[in-house]
Amino acid sequence: MNPKRRPIIAGNWKMNMTATQARELASKLIPLVASVKDRDIVLGPPFTSIASVAETIKGTNISLAAQNLHWEDKGAFTGEISAEMLLDLNCRYVIIGHSERRQSFGETDETVNKKVKQSLKKGLLPILCVGETLAEREAGKLNDIISRQVTGGLKDIQASDMQKVVIAYEPVWAIGTGKTATPQQANEVHALIRQKVKALYSAGIADGLRIQYGGSVTPANVSTLMAMPDIDGALVGGASLKPESFAALVNFK
C-alpha cells in the first residue's frame, strides 16, 4: 500500500446470490463497514441482483460493480447488458476480462479492450483483470503474458482516462484454489504492471494507478498483502460472500 493511492476492496460475487440473498448480504454488511472513510468498498453482484443491492446500499459508503458489459451501446445482442443499463442502476465500476470470462467465454485482449473503451466512454470505471495460468508461469512466460494483457487491454486508452482505470492482478492458479500468491510474488507482478504502464504512459500515471490483487484473499492474509508497496487493494471472490469476512477484509489493518 502506498499512502498516495486510495485502497479499493471489491467483492466479485460471480454467479452467486439471488436478488433476495444479495439484499440480505448487503444489509448485514452496511453497519460493519459504515465507519470506513479512507478506502473504496465495492460489491460486484450478478446482473439480476444489482438492482436490489443498489436499493439497499443507497446513501452508504459502498459502491457497485457489474461483472461484465457489452461494448456496443444497444441493439440486437441477445443476452448482453449495456453500459447505460448498468449506469441506470447506479453501477460505478465494471469488472472486465476476468480470467473465468477469458477461459470459459472466449474473451480476448481485443474484446476486453473494446469493453474497457466502452466503459470509459460511458462513464463506468473499469477494473481490468489480468493474470497468468500456472502453465504459463512455469514456462517462464509470466512477463510476456502480463505485458500482452496490459498492453492489449489498454490499447488506445487516452492518458487522460487512466486515472479512472483500476487493474486487478489475479494469477489464475490462485483463484478459488486456496493457493494465494505470496505477498512478494504478487508485489513483483504489480511492480511489473506499474513498469509497463509507465512505459506506455508516464511515471505519474503509473504512480497513481491502483492495482488490486485477487486470488484466495481472506481475512487471514489480506494485511500482509496490503502491506506490500505496489498492492492497492483486493478483488475477492469466495471471502466476499459472507458479510463478516468481507467486512474483515475491508477493515484490514
Is 237 a binding residue for ligand PGA by CB under 6 A? The answer is: yes
CB of 219 to ligand PGA, least distance (A): 12
Residue positions counted in the chain: 253
Is 233 a binding residue for ligand PGA by CB under 6 A? The answer is: no
Give the residue, chosen from 217, 226, 228, 247, that forms a contact with ligand PGA under the rule CB under 6 A: 217
Bridge-based pairing of strands 40-44 and 8-12 is parallel
Residue 114, CA distances (Å) to 70, 152, 153 in order = 9, 10, 8
Is 64 a binding residue for ligand PGA by CB under 6 A? The answer is: no
Our CB check for ligand PGA shows the closer of 217 and 225 to be 217
Which runs of E-coded beta strand occur in the chain? 8-12, 40-44, 62-66, 91-96, 125-130, 166-169, 210-214, 233-236
Mapping DSSP to helix (H, G, I), strand (E, B) and coil, where does residue 46 land? coil
Our CB check for ligand PGA shows the closer of 42 and 209 to be 42
Catalytic-residue membership of 170: yes
Our CB check for ligand PGA shows the closer of 53 and 235 to be 235
Residue 138, CA distances (Å) to 132, 170, 190 in order = 10, 16, 18
Handedness of CA 173, 80, 234, 250 (dihedral sign): negative
- 149 closest CA partner among 186, 182, 120, 192: 192
Catalytic-residue membership of 98: yes
Give the residue, chosen from 175, 189, 197, 228, that forms a contact with ligand PGA under the rule CB under 6 A: 175
Mapping DSSP to helix (H, G, I), strand (E, B) and coil, where does residue 49 land? helix
Is 215 a binding residue for ligand PGA by CB under 6 A? The answer is: yes
Is 109 a binding residue for ligand PGA by CB under 6 A? The answer is: no
Our CB check for ligand PGA shows the closer of 152 and 214 to be 214
Site for ligand PGA in 113-142 (CB under 6 A): none
Is 216 a binding residue for ligand PGA by CB under 6 A? The answer is: yes
Active site residues: 98, 170
Chain residues that interact with ligand PGA, rule: CB under 6 A:
12, 170, 175-176, 214-217, 235-239
